[in-house]
Amino acid sequence: MTNLVIFHNPRCSKSRQTLSIIQERDLDLNVVEYLKNPPSKTEIKIILKKLGIRPIDLMRKGETLFKEKNLNDPNVTDEYLIDCMAENPILIERPIVIRGEKAIIGRPPERVMEIL
């Protein structure tokens, strides 16, 4: 059985719902509270590859910090966005569920079924 990893924020209802869906299936799971244990730049790049998306698509655009740093500016590089997520994990969309070489963002939480 492939181990599942969830990048989880216990204060987020969508993250809690996604975690609950996984736990109901009694699967081997590693829960990473990414605000306490943020992923490195290298880990973020690996996650992006597994998701098949660009850095801007992994960011929480409603966060005050996103707006303050003007991260929606088309001149901002992908590398800078990754730096910002590594330094400010609150900017990372949640929850992220990884299984092997695939990953999904659990929004809506039922999307996690695609990877289970």
Q: Is 33 helix (H, G, I), strand (E, B) or coil?
A: strand
Q: Collapse the DSSP code of 49 into the 3-class scheme (helix H, G, I; strand E, B; otherwise coil) and give the result.
A: helix
The DSSP code for 63 is: S
Residue with tokens 């590594």: 86
Contact between 95 and 19 under an 8 Å Cβ cutoff? The reply is: yes
The structure tokens listed for 86 are 């590594």
Q: Are 96 and 33 in contact (CB under 8 A)?
A: no
Catalytic residue among 6, 7, 9, 12, which? Answer: 12
**12 belongs to the catalytic site:** yes
**Cα 52 to Cα 37: distance, rounded to the nearest angstrom:** 23
> Looking at the annotation, which residues are catalytic?
12
